[in-house]
Amino acid sequence: MIALISLFKEDRKFEKIHDIFGVIKGSEEPDRYVILGNHRDAWTYGAVDPNSGTASLLDIARRLGIMLQSGWKPRRSIILCSWDAEEFGMIGSTEWVEENLADLHSKAVAYLNVDCAVQGVGFFAGSTPQLDKLLVDITRQVKDPDVMGKMVHDTWNEMNGSISIERLARTDSDFAPFLHHAGIPSVDLYYGKEFPGYHTALDSYNWMEKHGDPLFLRHLAITEIWGLLALRLADDPVLPFDYQVYASQLQEHTNALSALMNNSQAVNLMNGFISDLSDAAIEVLKEAKVYSPPEDYESKLSFFPGIADAISRSGNQGADERDTAIQHEVWKVSRAIQRAARVLRGEFSRQNEQSNFSSVVTP
């Protein structure tokens, strides 16, 4: 007779977590922060998740230390962050963002995240749209770790037939609180996708050395891209943001929304403000040159979640009530786009802003 015994031990207790920071104070704009982050807690050995990213972060710290010893100082402050308790729901980064939300919301330039630096072949990146151009430019400066004589940009482009940059709608890494809570422009970088040993005992140094990155050249490439992004954002006299890309992305989303809505009056309003945002972005770029040195609504409208929710909830509503609810959400997005254009122009909001919107979108 064979007896099968299952054993389970549960141990619930409170533990302290510790976030660790390294700060290089900016020489000219010390109250503006370029933030680099990686978590250091792991489910098992964690060679990929997170230690590949931790190794890259430590190497950036080492290189910045050498530059500081040579007399260099960044224009803006650089903050290097090692997060704790990421695997329990981004607790370390989220608590820090929430505690410092007011400062970060107004003073953080960008958050640059690397979680699993290397988990396979091929460069992948996600970002908010205004950082797309900078990211692409940086990859033209870094040698490809797998193909001799080519740059990362070349193989990245060849892999998909064009440059493919993901949008950071997910919430599975430490960029989530920075982007979704504080609205800070963000980037996420990594080599390889769908690592089969993720969160298992196979995530080991042995796997990394034999299969993931035998010569550790992919680690080197990620470190260089990450570090160069930080240096450009910390040192460029005019921040290298491109809001024309942002306006173009919003236009793509609005076109998808327009195809799903019978009443396009409110969408036309959004189109007008997106055009205004694009014009404002062009004006900012010109000024910088002068003065510087599906099948369901939810999947199709993940970029406009408030509108998607309103459409989903409207199934049992009457036509008038449905249109009013949806147009209200469209109005809120339109207002945010209009305010973005005004921020780029340095304008204040007008007192009659709400009444102008209401008169246009109310049926």
The whole-model pTM stands at: 0.77
Catalytic residue among 10, 15, 29, 86: 86
Cα distance between residue 241 and residue 135, in whole Å: 10
Cα distance between residue 335 and residue 59, in whole Å: 43
- Residue 350's pLDDT is what? 56
User: Do 25 and 163 share a domain, yes or no?
Assistant: yes
Report if residue 243 sits inside a domain. no
Spell out, as residue ranges, where the chain has pLDDT lower than 70: 1, 3-4, 6-8, 262-264, 266, 287-304, 312-317, 319, 348-363
Secondary structure class of 106 (helix, strand, coil) = helix
Report if residue 249 sits inside a domain. no
- Residue 32's pLDDT is what? 98
Cβ atoms within 10 Å of 266's Cβ, excluding its own? 25
- Residue 12's pLDDT is what? 81
Per-residue pLDDT reduced to its tens digit, 337-347: 888 888 877 77
Report if residue 248 sits inside a domain. no
Cα distance between residue 115 and residue 188, in whole Å: 8
Report if residue 216 sits inside a domain. yes
**Residue span of the structural domain in which 103 resides:** 20-235
Phi/psi class of residue 13: alpha, beta or left (left: φ > 0; alpha: ψ in -120 to 50)? beta
Secondary structure class of 190 (helix, strand, coil) = strand
152, two tokens: 């990362």
User: Do 94 and 28 share a domain, yes or no?
Assistant: yes
User: Do 82 and 168 share a domain, yes or no?
Assistant: yes
Q: In total, how many domains does the chain have?
A: 2
Report if residue 241 sits inside a domain. no
Report if residue 175 sits inside a domain. yes
- Residue 277's pLDDT is what? 75
Report if residue 15 sits inside a domain. no
Cα distance between residue 48 and residue 64, in whole Å: 24
Q: Which of 238, 284, 242 is nearest to 75 (CA)?
A: 238
Task: Give the CATH number of the domain where residue 220 resides.
Answer: 3.40.630.10
CB 68 within 8 A of CB 26: no
Reply yes or no on whether 87 is catalytic.
no
Per-residue pLDDT reduced to its tens digit, 187-207: 999 999 989 999 999 999 999
DSSP state of 110: E
Per-residue pLDDT reduced to its tens digit, 141-167: 999 999 999 999 999 999 988 999 999
